[in-house]
């Protein structure tokens, strides 16, 4: 049984709270507040019970051991402080001790500035553990990693799962073990290599598995189509061919048409049937007929799981397929679950957050969980027993 915070009677303690506040920041402004907002219930629960909190998080991928202002958590501390209307002390040098002064909350600078964090140094974990009495883990997005400020603390401290983690696990479990059928899964994004296991697992459970993105291109190549200069992974063509031979292959839904750019210019998008793609075309989105076909399937679904943009969303109009699919899921009555570091921001940008049943803060961790892999931190917190 998962050891959950809300069932433990924790008060008047110093709690080390590991969050995933890895949010996009531009010119000191938070571009996406989703992970911050989702972390608030656990913070409020701890404060309500008279605890003091030391918040730990990573942000981005700085060079370990070096302080790089670009990856500072300071803007996050300021933002969170405003949101919860509490003073938060931001500690740059925290690893040898912290001082709460007149505040109940401290946020430590990016844990990835510390030497040893990514290699799960036990020396670093030991130092961190001495900053508090209790450890609460609420950073679902790093559940699959072994790092000093998360995995490394669990054996050293009395540890619990926070509310966000509990919600993530419950929703993902419901999606994989008990979905209301028909279940449609949409797996897209850049690389088939990161999602091939997920595709084979979900093909089995799903009524339809919709494909888009760079992943689609690898499948089209494996099926013998010309994909021109499109993004694809040659090392994974054989894996794609295995899926093509899978008994459930007819459930894998391919587009009818695609939108291509030509000769490295984005200026002249052309919609083409798959069979009409030429050697100097680059497939960057699904076409209008495919969107209609995918939307029809979504309308008939009771559960939809979506991960990954269906096209090159960074450049208009190649975001069209993704935007239309997002809107179709948003207006449908199905139970909808979405995850993925590049998928969530699209929903946020369209202001559709409240139109989905569950938006996960996890990317890689969520996919691994759904694949059925044991995530090391969840295992230590008792999720699999």
* Helix, coil or strand: residue 133: coil
Rg (CA), the chain: 22
13 to 52: interface string for ligand ADP, x by CB under 6 A: ----------------------------------------
One of 133, 248, 342, 348 touching ligand ADP (CB under 6 A): 342
Buried b (16+ CB within 10 A) or exposed e, 89-108: bbbeebbeebeeeeebbbbb
Tokens of 355: 């139109």
One of 116, 152, 189, 255 touching ligand ADP (CB under 6 A): 189
Q: 305 forms bridges with which residues in the sheet?
A: 185, 337
One of 340, 356, 362, 365 touching ligand ADP (CB under 6 A): 340
Q: Residue 214 interacts with Mg ion (CB under 5 A)?
A: no
Nearer to ligand ADP, 236 or 312 (CB): 312
Annotated active-site positions, please?
35, 191, 341, 364
One of 88, 284, 291, 381 touching ligand ADP (CB under 6 A): 284
Q: Residue 43's closest CA among 138, 167, 179? A: 138
Q: Residue 309 interacts with ligand ADP (CB under 6 A)?
A: yes
Q: Residue 308 interacts with ligand ADP (CB under 6 A)?
A: yes
Q: Which does 51 bind (CB under 5 to 8 A by kind): ligand ADP, Mg ion, none?
A: none
Taking the C-alpha atoms of residue 149 and residue 20, their distance in angstroms, rounded to an integer, is 11
Q: Are 149 and 111 in contact (CB under 8 A)?
A: yes
One of 157, 283, 347, 359 touching ligand ADP (CB under 6 A): 283
CA-to-CA separations, 378 to 117, 140, 167, 232, 365, in angstroms, rounded:
19, 9, 13, 33, 10
Q: Which does 314 bind (CB under 5 to 8 A by kind): Mg ion, ligand ADP, none?
A: ligand ADP
Residues 342, 172, 149, 54, CA torsion sign: positive
Q: Which does 307 bind (CB under 5 to 8 A by kind): ligand ADP, Mg ion, none?
A: ligand ADP
**DSSP for 161-198?**
E-HHHHHHHHHHHHHHHSPPSSEEEEE-SS-GGGTHHH
Residues 281, 282, 284, 289, CA torsion sign: positive
Q: Which does 155 bind (CB under 5 to 8 A by kind): Mg ion, ligand ADP, none?
A: none
Q: Which does 283 bind (CB under 5 to 8 A by kind): Mg ion, ligand ADP, none?
A: ligand ADP
Nearer to Mg ion, 171 or 307 (CB): 307
Longest dimension (CA), the chain: 68
Q: Residue 43's closest CA among 69, 67, 71, 19? A: 19
What share of residues in the chain are helix, strand, coil (percent, to 5)?
A: 40, 20, 40
Q: Among the candidate windows 36-44, 151-159, 168-176, 189-197, which touches ligand ADP by CB under 6 A?
A: 189-197
CB of 189 to ligand ADP, least distance (A): 2
Q: Residue 341 interacts with Mg ion (CB under 5 A)?
A: yes
216 to 255: interface string for ligand ADP, x by CB under 6 A: ---------------x------------------------
One of 140, 305, 312, 356 touching ligand ADP (CB under 6 A): 312
Q: Residue 179 interacts with ligand ADP (CB under 6 A)?
A: no
Place of tokens 């998962």: 2
Taking the C-alpha atoms of residue 327 and residue 295, their distance in angstroms, rounded to an integer, is 9
Positions in the binding site for ligand ADP (CB under 6 A): 189-190, 194, 213-214, 231, 283-284, 307-309, 311-314, 340-343, 363
Positions in the binding site for Mg ion (CB under 5 A): 341-342
């Amino acid at each position: 049984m998962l050891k959950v915070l809300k069932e433990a009677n924790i008060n008047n303690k110093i709690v080390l709270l590991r969050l995933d506040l890895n949010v996009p920041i531009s010119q000191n402004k938070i571009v996406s507040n989703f992970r911050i907002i989702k972390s608030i219930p656990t913070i409020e629960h701890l404060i309500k019970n008279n605890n003091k909190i030391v918040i730990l998080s990573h942000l981005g991928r700085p060079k370990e051991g070096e302080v790089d202002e670009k990856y500072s958590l300071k803007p996050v501390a300021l933002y969170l402080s405003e949101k919860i209307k509490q003073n938060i002390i931001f500690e740059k040098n925290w690893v040898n001790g912290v001082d709460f002064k007149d505040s109940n909350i401290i946020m430590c600078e990016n844990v990835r500035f510390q030497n040893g964090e990514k290699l799960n140094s036990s020396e670093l974990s030991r130092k961190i553990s001495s900053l508090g009495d209790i450890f609460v883990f609420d950073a679902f997005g790093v559940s699959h990693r072994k790092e000093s400020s998360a995995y490394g603390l669990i054996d050293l401290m009395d540890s619990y799962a926070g509310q966000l983690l509990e919600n993530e696990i419950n929703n993902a479990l419901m999606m994989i073990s008990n979905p209301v059928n028909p279940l449609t899964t949409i797996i897209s994004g850049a690389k088939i290599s990161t999602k091939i296991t997920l595709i084979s697992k979900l093909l089995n459970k799903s009524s339809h598995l919709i494909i888009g993105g760079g992943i689609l291109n690898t499948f089209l190549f494996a099926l013998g189509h010309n994909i021109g200069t499109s993004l694809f992974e040659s090392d994974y063509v054989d894996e794609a061919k295995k899926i093509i031979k899978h008994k459930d292959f007819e459930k894998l839904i391919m587009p009818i048409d695609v939108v291509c750019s030509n000769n490295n210019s984005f200026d002249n998008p052309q919609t083409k049937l798959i069979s009409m793609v030429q050697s100097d075309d680059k497939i960057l989105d699904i076409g209008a007929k495919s969107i209609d076909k995918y939307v029809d399937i979504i309308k008939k679904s009771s559960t939809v799981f979506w991960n990954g943009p269906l096209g090159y969303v960074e450049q208009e109009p190649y975001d069209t397929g993704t935007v239309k699919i997002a809107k179709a899921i948003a207006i449908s009555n199905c139970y909808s679950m979405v995850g993925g570091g590049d998928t969530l921001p699209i929903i946020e940008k369209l202001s559709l957050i409240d139109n989905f049943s569950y938006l996960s803060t996890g990317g890689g961790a969520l996919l691994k969980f759904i694949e059925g892999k044991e995530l090391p931190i969840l295992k230590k917190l008792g999720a699999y027993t």
